[in-house]
Structure 1
Amino acid sequence: MLQFINDLEPHVVGIHAIGEVTKQDIDTVLLPRIDELVQRQGEINYLLVLETDVKNWTAGAWLDDVKMGIKNFTKWNKIAVVSDQKGVEWFTDAFRFFIPGKSKGYSLNQLDDAVKWVTAKDEQ
């Protein structure tokens, strides 16, 4: 399930993933918020708090997530992924080599640092 993180700056989309994440979650929760952010400001600052195993994302959810990433390829500004899954943190750090924006991985106990970084208008 995807839930909005509502207490962030308006230039950041925050999503909390728990349990099973489905195509419907991506289509009804994530995509509309990302599309609205792109229309409003032309770039994406994205915080994902991943408190579910990546195996809990259905194939449809992964496919729609990839499509969103490609559709908005030039719009990514900052991506912060917060997870205690070391592979996810490593992948997020490596992802910065494949997108024009910046990405950083954080552990769950670094959530405050992730929020500060992704919401900062200047590079930290």
Structure 2
Amino acid sequence: MIEIMPQSSGNVIGIKAGGRLSDADYRQILIPCLEERLKQHRKLNILFYMDETFTGWDLEAAWDDASYGLRHRADFDRIAVVGAPPWVEWCIRLIGFLMKGEIRVFPAEQLDQAWAWIKTTQ
């Protein structure tokens, strides 16, 4: 399940992920939100918060995530990943070099610090 967090505004989008993410989560919620914001802003700052129920992605959702990220890799200025399990942190660090923007990983207890960082312009 994906939710757009209420703290989102302007070019800053907070995404809360729980359970197992599906293709529908991306196609019905996340991608339309990102596309709408990209019409209004040149670059986006993303906070991706994985809550304690997060278990991963189904295959189609993983493909949606990777393909969208690569197509739009120059459209993200900052990405904060919060609460990621160790296996997700490893994947983020591995593919991070493909992204044009800056990516930081924060433990769940540093959610407030992640929001502060993501809202800071470069």
Q: TM-score, normalised by structure 2?
A: 0.88
User: Where does the alignment leave 5 or more consecutive residues of structure 1 unmatched?
Assistant: none
* Number of residue-to-residue matches in the alignment: 120
| More strand, by proportion | 2
Match of 1:53 among 52, 55, 73: 55
Match of 1:43 in 2: 43
CA contact (8 A) 2:44 2:75 kept: yes
Tell me the distance in 1 between the aligned counterparts of 2:111 and 2:50.
11
| 2:80 corresponds to 1:80 | yes
Cα RMSD of the aligned pairs, angstroms, is 1.6
Calculate percent identity across the aligned residue pairs. Answer: 26
| 2:16 corresponds to 1:16 | yes
Displacement over 6 Å in runs of 4+:
none
Q: TM-score, normalised by structure 1?
A: 0.87
Tell me the distance in 2 between the aligned counterparts of 1:95 and 1:40.
27
CA contact (8 A) 1:45 1:76 kept: yes
Tell me the distance in 1 between the aligned counterparts of 2:96 and 2:66.
15
User: Where does the alignment leave 5 or more consecutive residues of structure 2 unmatched?
Assistant: none
TM-fit CA distance, 1:94: 5.1
